[in-house]
């Protein structure tokens, strides 16, 4: 019974996004900078053809974008091209659901989390050549991750509380670094550091961890009850609260600055975000009902 309960809890933790907000959409906007201000233009609903759970956008170096979407009761990975908007499924697994598609540095392959119907949850690599999955970390329950190089990744590892760990694929070793973190992990542009949300205090903090010297530093408090953020290529942080998108540039801004209120597009409930490598587009996950 105890083992069964553990499996169920792990499955719940991995699938918490689907439980918390089963109906979401991904909108992509042109991100314009003029005279020091930022505006959002030309909203496009990438996932209009798939009602239900659409989430976890992640841009690729070529400007296309991975995301996850509901597919016959499962969650699978798709890819969309811009500007034409053509898309295709990359996975259609029958024994589980996939989450967190992430490009692997120096490769056409991508990594993802697979939650199987038996409760097993592991990090996989999807081979571009063979189109087959390969387990990357055998014994680590990874919930979210970001790559630092083709062997090293920062991982949100499930536990009570969840922890930030550095994992090395070749050696299969993971080193705990911090406890009680949020799901938003990112490599900080033009640095040897990562950012994460630390939830040990209220308000939560966006923090950095410098891998070259092994030190932690606070960046800024999160917006109240918000835990999803992303970096633009110029070092700007974006975060949403309700219908309002905010930005903060360390060293330039003193506090969060409102960029756009998406209520003008009848959108609200901002969660996950992603900015394209050239800084020209931003993907924003919103509540589906708000965009209907």
Residue range 186-236, pLDDT digits in tens: 999 999 999 999 999 999 999 999 999 999 999 999 999 899 999 999 999
Q: Could you tell me the pTM of the whole model?
A: 0.91
Share of the chain above pLDDT 70, in %: 91
In order, the DSSP letters of 40-94 are EEEEEETTTTS-S-EEEEEE-TTS-EEEEEEETTEEEEEEE-TTT--EEES---S
Provide the domain count of the chain: 1
Contact between 101 and 68 under an 8 Å Cβ cutoff? The reply is yes
Expressed as residue numbers, the domain containing 19 is: 2-291
Q: Which residues are 176's β-sheet partners?
A: 165
- Give the CATH number for residue 261: 2.120.10.30
pLDDT reading at 13 higher than 70: no
- pLDDT value of residue 27: 98
> Which two structure tokens, joined as six digits, stand for 112?
């993802």
Mean pLDDT confidence for 163-184: 98
pLDDT reading at 8 higher than 90: no
Instruction: Dump pLDDT digits (tens) for 25-39.
Output: 999 999 999 887 899
pLDDT reading at 147 higher than 60: yes
Res. 124 pLDDT band, cuts 50 70 90: very high
Instruction: Dump pLDDT digits (tens) for 235-244.
Output: 999 999 999 9
pLDDT reading at 167 higher than 90: yes
Residue partners of 20: CB distance under 8 A and separation at least 6: none
Question: Which of 250 and 13 is assigned the larger pLDDT?
Answer: 250
Mean pLDDT confidence for 115-119: 91
Q: Which residues are 216's β-sheet partners?
A: 209
Res. 16 pLDDT band, cuts 50 70 90: very low
Res. 22 pLDDT band, cuts 50 70 90: low
Give Rg (Cα) of the chain.
18
- pLDDT value of residue 206: 99
C-alpha distances in Å from residue 27, one per residue of 103, 117, 270, 285: 20, 30, 10, 6
């Amino acid at each position: 019974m105890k083992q069964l309960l553990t499996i169920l809890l792990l499955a719940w933790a991995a699938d918490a996004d689907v439980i918390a907000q089963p109906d979401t959409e991904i909108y992509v906007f042109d991100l314009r900078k003029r005279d020091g201000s930022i505006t959002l233009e030309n909203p496009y609903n990438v996932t209009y053809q798939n009602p239900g759970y659409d989430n976890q956008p992640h841009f690729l170096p070529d400007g296309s974008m991975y995301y996850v979407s509901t597919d016959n009761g499962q969650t699978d990975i798709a890819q969309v091209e811009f500007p034409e908007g053509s898309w295709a499924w990359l996975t259609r697994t029958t024994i589980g659901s996939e989450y967190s598609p992430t490009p692997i540095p120096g490769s056409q392959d991508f990594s993802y989390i697979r939650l199987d119907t038996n409760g097993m949850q592991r990090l996989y690599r999807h081979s571009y050549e063979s189109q087959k999955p390969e387990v990357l970390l055998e014994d680590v329950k990874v919930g979210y991750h970001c790559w630092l190089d083709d062997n090293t990744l920062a991982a949100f590892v499930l536990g009570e509380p969840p922890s930030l760990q550095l994992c090395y694929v070749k050696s299969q070793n993971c080193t705990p670094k911090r406890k009680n973190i949020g799901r938003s992990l990112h490599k900080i542009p033009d640095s040897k550091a990562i950012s994460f949300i630390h939830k040990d205090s209220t308000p939560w903090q966006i923090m950095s961890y410098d891998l070259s010297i092994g030190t932690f530093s606070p960046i800024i408090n999160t917006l109240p009850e918000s835990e999803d953020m992303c970096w633009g290529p110029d070092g700007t942080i974006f975060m949403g609260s309700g219908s309002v998108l905010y930005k903060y540039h360390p060293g330039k801004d003193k506090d969060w600055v409102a960029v756009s209120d998406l209520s003008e597009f009848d959108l609200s409930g901002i969660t996950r975000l992603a900015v394209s490598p050239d800084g020209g587009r931003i993907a924003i996950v919103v509540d589906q009902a708000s965009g209907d």
